[in-house]
Amino acid sequence: MSKRKRILLIITSVIVLTLIIVSLYTNTFLENKVKNLLQSKIPDYIESNYKDIKIHSFRGSISIIEPSVIIKDKETGVITSKIKLDKLEINNISYLDFYFNKEISLSEVLLDGLDITYFKNEVKKDKDSTKQNNFKNPISIKAFRIENASVKVIDTSKDSLLFSLKNGNLILKKLEIDSTFSLKTFKDNYKSLKISADSIFLKSGLYENLTISHFEHKDHSISITDLSLKTKYSKKMFSKMISKERDYYTINTSTITLEELDYGFNEGIFYFNSSLINIDKAVASIYRNKLVADDFKVKMLYSKSIRELPIQLNIDSISVSNSKVIYSERTKNDRPAGILTISKINASVSKLSNTYSLSNKTVILVDGIFMKNSAFHANWSFDISNKNDAFEFIGDVGNISGSSLNILLTPLINARLEGEIEHTLFHIKGNNISSTIYMSQKYEHVKIEILNKKKNKNKLVSGIANVFVHHKSDKKGVVYNHITANATRDNTKSFFNYLAKNLKSALLVSFFDKKNKKYKKYKVKKEHFDLEEYHKKHSKN
């Protein structure tokens, strides 16, 4: 080996050895520095711990093994949060960006095995919204990741679980944080987002719990699998717990998807936009015990409820498929609940928004099977911006046998219906005060049986009742009874109670009022009852 080569080799070896020594010293120095910072700079109300710290200065990486933090209330010392991790990694810190631009630039931040427990208590929180964040230097992170996280929120006053999730994962790409960073502007601080979680639990009210099997949010879409909203008590216990009428829920959905999703804040007001929400295989069982005292709180119609939401809502379309509704109502202690079902529901909602200008109608179209075997179609429309809450509701119900209706009628009015209601068409026009219903019916051999306490036919009372009943809509069987009736809204009741009042008013005229001057006969081809044509017109709007 030549002298020159030997000198070059020696110099190279010295440089490498020097770099190794400097690196080891730097790593040790930085590790000690970080440890001192963790001990001296953290406030007294925060307790921190860790198993080990590893720093690679050349690579610009920091790894903290099994860090944990306990946060206490400043005033009382009560524990508010416990946070622990399997590992916290910060990779590829750019020294050049920090030196020249005073910017903290990172390739990746990883929180692995994050476990958060938050204790909700009565401690008063500082609500000063003018408080600024403490980011003195801008932070740029190419990838911020949370893997295999679990979260719990516990109500300490009742020792009950308010919220939890498992296997939570989050990826934020190109996250930028500076002195202007806040939750209201957060969506503008990253390029892409992906969140997923399993086994989500939420205490959604005093009596109901919500669970989700799997949740995934990727940029502008959300997918929810196996959502369930249930009253957590038995019907008997629930009825004892409530002082006023309240629905008992069991609602399950197979999948819910939201497409072209956008949300955030517009001049301080939260907005939520979606082009399409799909709901598949939803089953809603709703029970109401009418033996509990009435709730006389004023109920808003849906148009007003949406109009007065504290957020800006804009959903172009909602699609519901393969779904079912079961409603049951109990009115007497000695009778079971009356049951109404609509199955095989396929429905659509268009223009559900409180941001549209006047005359943009929300239209709800529903197809299904009423009471197991009767085809049911509905067209319900209203203008959310109309402060009179004007609406139209058109319904078309196919053949209904008396026997299929008795599961509803017998428990509610202690009567049975015989015969066939072959076809019912109705058109309701109303507002938040009153309404008019136009109904056409075709039926025959209709009789009513009034029952005694033993559920046997009371022949005398039934005979008297049937004297006043119209047993056929027309002897020729080709003409429909046409009825006009009115209803006044009880604003302490829901929209569906209002709908029922309209139908009740029309049916009383149809079956009992032979002397009503408005009672006429029209052929079914009357324009305002041509439901198929009505659907065509309104589906284009």
Q: What is the pLDDT of residue 287?
A: 93
**Of 180, 112, 191, 105, nearest in space to 141 by CA:** 105
Q: What are phi and psi of 239, to 5 degrees?
A: -65, -30
Cβ 133 vs Cβ 185: under 8 Å: no
Q: Provide the number of structural domains found in the chain.
A: 1
Q: What is the pLDDT of residue 431?
A: 96
Q: What is the pLDDT of residue 158?
A: 82
Within a domain: 197: yes
Within a domain: 475: no
Q: What is the pLDDT of residue 179?
A: 76
User: End-to-end CA distance of the chain, in Å?
Assistant: 90
Residues 6 or more apart whose Cβ sits within 8 Å of residue 450: 414, 415, 457, 458, 461, 462, 465
DSSP state of 294: P
The structure tokens 């010293």 sit at 25
Cβ 440 vs Cβ 478: under 8 Å: no
pLDDT tens sequence for the chain (541 residues): 565 555 555 555 544 444 444 444 444 544 555 555 555 557 778 888 888 888 776 666 888 899 899 999 888 888 999 999 999 998 887 655 555 566 778 889 999 999 999 998 765 555 544 455 566 678 888 999 999 999 999 998 888 899 999 999 999 999 888 877 787 888 888 899 999 999 999 999 899 999 999 999 999 999 999 999 999 999 999 999 999 989 999 999 999 999 999 999 988 899 999 999 999 999 999 999 988 998 899 999 999 999 999 999 999 999 999 999 999 988 878 777 888 899 999 999 999 999 987 778 999 999 999 888 889 999 999 999 999 999 999 998 888 876 666 666 665 555 666 777 888 888 999 999 999 998 887 777 666 665 666 666 655 444 544 444 555 555 554 466 777 889 999 999 999 889 888 887 887 776 665 544 444 443 333 333 444 454 455 444 4
SS3 307: helix
- Give the containing element (helix H, strand E) for 389: none
Q: What is the pLDDT of residue 526?
A: 35
Within a domain: 472: no
Residues 6 or more apart whose Cβ sits within 8 Å of residue 79: 70, 71, 72, 73, 119
Rounded distance, CA 220 to CA 275, Å?
Answer: 10
Residues 6 or more apart whose Cβ sits within 8 Å of residue 127: none
**Of 301, 286, 296, nearest in space to 430 by CA:** 301
Within a domain: 111: yes
State which amino acid sits at residue 220: H
Return the structure tokens found at 355.
């941001």
The structure tokens 């379309």 sit at 317
Phi-psi map region of 485: left, alpha, beta (phi>0 left; psi -120 to 50 alpha) = beta
DSSP state of 457: B
Helix boundaries (H) for 376-431: 402-413
**Of 41, 118, 44, nearest in space to 79 by CA:** 118
**Of 247, 264, 271, 405, nearest in space to 329 by CA:** 247
Within a domain: 354: no
Rounded distance, CA 228 to CA 201, Å?
Answer: 10
Within a domain: 414: no
Rounded distance, CA 162 to CA 120, Å?
Answer: 9
- Which domain, by its residues, includes 187? 22-122+137-203
Rounded distance, CA 338 to CA 23, Å?
Answer: 80
Cβ 324 vs Cβ 345: under 8 Å: yes
Return the structure tokens found at 218.
């990727």
Rounded distance, CA 134 to CA 128, Å?
Answer: 15
Within a domain: 49: yes
Torsion over CA: 263, 264, 266, 269 (sign): positive
Within a domain: 411: no
Rounded distance, CA 483 to CA 437, Å?
Answer: 8
Q: What is the pLDDT of residue 166?
A: 97
Q: What are phi and psi of 157, to 5 degrees?
A: -70, -30
SS3 228: strand
